[in-house]
Homo-oligomer: A and B are copies of this chain.
């Protein structure tokens, strides 16, 4: 959704956007399957259905997800219109690789697991959130920007600030839902963070403190989009949806 919203704001053709959108979706699916594993978050439910290692077995879950990573890169290397510039494909590949490796999603998950039972300070918590969730969201929005040859620096900066705020807001909303939502509502086991004594925003600042930071981040994000004008309306809606979602 983010790839398409950002892409339409930038007038990128939809058949070009399919390629990064598919790649990011594959990477996201990979991360969810591994994060749910017994050795990780040990979750039985995801989107209201049994997690992959529950529906099949652990080895299948590890391998199925492992195979999604190369598929994502393959999509970027050869998917979409054949006319796309090789250099543009390489930039998308580099962006995705950076967002998913040790300085991105996977590194963030490692910090998250190490933080159980320990106390992180505010800066450490936000760093973890930026890697774990923020980097892939960033790749979604910037992928659209990479599809625009010679994009203005101001527009690209606006998108960076927007998605940086959005990533943090998304994770804080997730933390709040883990406390306030029911298992049916959020489609995964509610209260899991507290049981595992995980570092979260509400645990650190209370529910009200978390809500306040959420509003602050939404304002910062929306303001940064002003440089894109009315075309960014979809992106604004996505931002509000993420911050106000109940599931």
Contact = CB atoms under 8 A, between A and B. Distances in A.
Interface stretch (A1-9, A56-64, A119-127, A192-200): A56-64
A64 B73 CA distance: 19
A74 B96 CA distance: 9
A70 interface: yes
A interface, size bucket: 35 or more
A90 interface: yes
Given A34-B66, A67-B106, A86-B86, A78 B60 contact: no
Interface string A30-70: 10001001011000000000000000011110111011011
This chain: how many copies in the complex? Answer: 2
A87 interface: yes
Interface in A16-38: 30, 34, 37
Contact of A97 (B77, B100, B102): B77
Interface in A71-107: 71, 73-74, 77-78, 85-87, 89-90, 93-94, 96-98, 100-102, 104, 106-107
A113 interface: yes
15 contacts: A39-B57, A40-B59, A40-B62, A59-B110, A60-B110, A63-B113, A67-B100, A69-B100, A70-B97, A70-B104, A74-B97, A77-B94, A86-B90, A90-B90, A93-B93
